Amino acid sequence: MTVGELGEFGVVARIAARLPQGAAVLLGPGDDAAMVSAPDGRVVVSTDLLIEGRHFRRHWSSGYDVGRKAAAQNLADVAAMGAVPTSIVVGLGMPADLPLTWLDGLTDGFREECALVGASVAGGDVTRCDLVVIGVTALGDLQGRAPVTRAAARPGHVVAVAGRLGYSAAGLALLEAGRATGGEQAEREPRWGDVVAGHRRPSPPYACGPEAARLGASAMLDVSDGLLQDLGHVAAASGVRVELDPGALPVAEPVAAAAKELGADPLDWVLTGGEDHALAATFPPDVRLPASWQVVGRVVEGEGVGVTGRETGPGGWDHFR
């Protein structure tokens, strides 16, 4: 059965039935607007659009994968401010012939990714579109803390990362080269399961965002367009230079293996691969970092981002080029 056969109000009811609300949602789906708790009198808000064919392909990613990914990239933005996500709202454009099984998977993906951080889906909107288009807006609570922006990195601070780097880029490269398959069976492939799964569904280190804020991070962001490019935003906003130590950058074994298979340099994926939604932050030098944060460089006077011993271009992802 398809979404067109079920009709708009049936689709809305079907989605809502799969989405229990958490305690922060004071009024859930079914009215003109939802109402969400904002305990400290401020709300952190981030929005992203995901477009079929550009951010995901239905033959490589299930509805469930896409739901996880769509929620994850916005929840990671909230965490990157040092906030705890409370809820998401979702605008969903779908072709009439979209199978309900795909929609159910998508809905379950939203629910389960939100559940990782104690958030839930507070509301949304459905409409018809020739492509699957997903607009996710995430809300979060700073628990009384100041937001960690990109603008307060200072020379002498250390640069550290939490979470995975290069997995999504490695998985995409294997899929594009035909060395790995997409769809449901991909994660059962023993060799490439980790990186293909990493492309289909990022695993942002959500708790590390508020953790970094409590530790006194001076700047933070989530790595969505590649470490080099994203740290370039920190450098520009803070008026500093970021110098990365290539020997300190984490090259995970599955990423190294994929690079070997394709004759690629794994450090390229670590430096320029987006969509893993790791967190990158700067900290004053006296902060004792827990194991979740790995020091990969330092903040110096100057501008831009460098990798000691390597030539680097901007190397990230421009959505219009």
Q: How would you classify the pairing of strands 133-141 and 84-94?
A: antiparallel
For a copy of itself, the binding residue among 63, 105, 124, 198 (CB under 8 A) is 124
Is residue 176 within the footprint of a copy of itself (CB under 8 A)? no
Distance (Å, rounded) from C-alpha 43 to C-alpha 76?
A: 15
Rounded to a whole number of angstroms, the minimum distance from the CB of residue 9 to a copy of itself is 7
For a copy of itself, the binding residue among 57, 59, 125, 155 (CB under 8 A) is 125
Is residue 166 within the footprint of a copy of itself (CB under 8 A)? no
Distance (Å, rounded) from C-alpha 262 to C-alpha 206?
A: 31
Distance (Å, rounded) from C-alpha 200 to C-alpha 187?
A: 10
Is residue 185 within the footprint of a copy of itself (CB under 8 A)? no
Is residue 186 within the footprint of a copy of itself (CB under 8 A)? no
Sign of the dihedral through C-alpha 221, 225, 226, 231: negative
> Could you tell me the CA-to-CA distances from 274 to 33, 35, 180, 236 in Å, in that order?
33, 33, 19, 19
For a copy of itself, the binding residue among 100, 129, 207, 300 (CB under 8 A) is 129
Site for a copy of itself in 223-262 (CB under 8 A): 237
| Nearest CA-CA partner of 120 in 81, 71, 64 | 71
Is residue 133 within the footprint of a copy of itself (CB under 8 A)? yes
Report DSSP state, residue 315. Answer: -
Q: Nearer to a copy of itself by C-beta: 81 or 195?
A: 81
Instruction: Choose one: 59-67, 99-107, 144-152, 158-166; the region binding a copy of itself (CB under 8 A).
Output: 144-152
Rounded to a whole number of angstroms, the minimum distance from the CB of residue 300 to a copy of itself is 22
- In residues, how long is the chain? 321
Q: Nearer to a copy of itself by C-beta: 92 or 249?
A: 92
Strand partners, 242: 299, 305
Site for a copy of itself in 17-46 (CB under 8 A): 26-27, 30-46
Is residue 69 within the footprint of a copy of itself (CB under 8 A)? no
Is residue 117 within the footprint of a copy of itself (CB under 8 A)? no
For a copy of itself, the binding residue among 70, 71, 80, 240 (CB under 8 A) is 80
**For residues 52 and 41, is the Cβ–Cβ distance under 8 A?**
no
**For residues 120 and 20, is the Cβ–Cβ distance under 8 A?**
yes
For a copy of itself, the binding residue among 49, 116, 207, 300 (CB under 8 A) is 49
